[in-house]
Amino acid sequence: MKLNVNDREVTIDADPAMPLLWALRDVIGLTGTKFGCGVAQCGACTVHLDGEAVRSCITPVSDAAGKKLTTIEAATDGADRIGAAVHAAWVKHDVAQCGYCQSGQIMSAIAFLKSLPPGQLRHADHRFEWTRPQFEAWAGALVLVTIVLLCSLMARLATYRLESMHRQ
């Protein structure tokens, strides 16, 4: 099966039903995309298929055939203006906590920002244009709050799972 991964054609020998996540990590060797929950809820496995954020843990590798697949490795290598800006904001605002799910969160943020109509952020409050420092401060705060909430939710889920295992 031929895949376009990070603007590079790759041929793999894999079951078409194999989750894309495992094809990326185990067959191709791109380990930036992480396994989290396995049910497409946490977002740690997020990649882009034709620019759309998808959860690779439940997406069959065959769904990627004939599409442009982008992983965290390419999204933050500096070639993509939005990817580089999101990555820089992540670092500048010390967003990462444990860091495990960060690649998926960055990929989701990039896809969201790219989905906005041109000028959407520049005229967000209709009173004045956001300056770059204002936008960076707003975006950094929003990202930090989102990550804290997501990590808290994941910690609670992990605690619940451990408690459930101990009850059995």
How much of the chain exceeds pLDDT 90, in percent?
40
pLDDT at 26 over 90: yes
Q: What is the pLDDT of residues 112-131, one digit of tens each?
A: 888 877 766 654 444 445 56
Q: What is the pLDDT of residues 63-106, one digit of tens each?
A: 999 999 999 999 999 898 888 888 888 888 877 777 778 898 88
Strands 68-70 and 52-55: unpaired
Reported CATH class of domain 2-167: alpha beta
Domain ranges of the chain: 2-167
Highest mean pLDDT (candidates 11-20, 88-97, 128-137, 158-167): 11-20
Do 59 and 20 contact (CB within 8 A), yes or no? yes
Query: Three-state SS for 134?
Result: helix
**Which is more confident, 146 or 58?**
58
68 phi/psi in degrees, rounded to 5: -90, 120
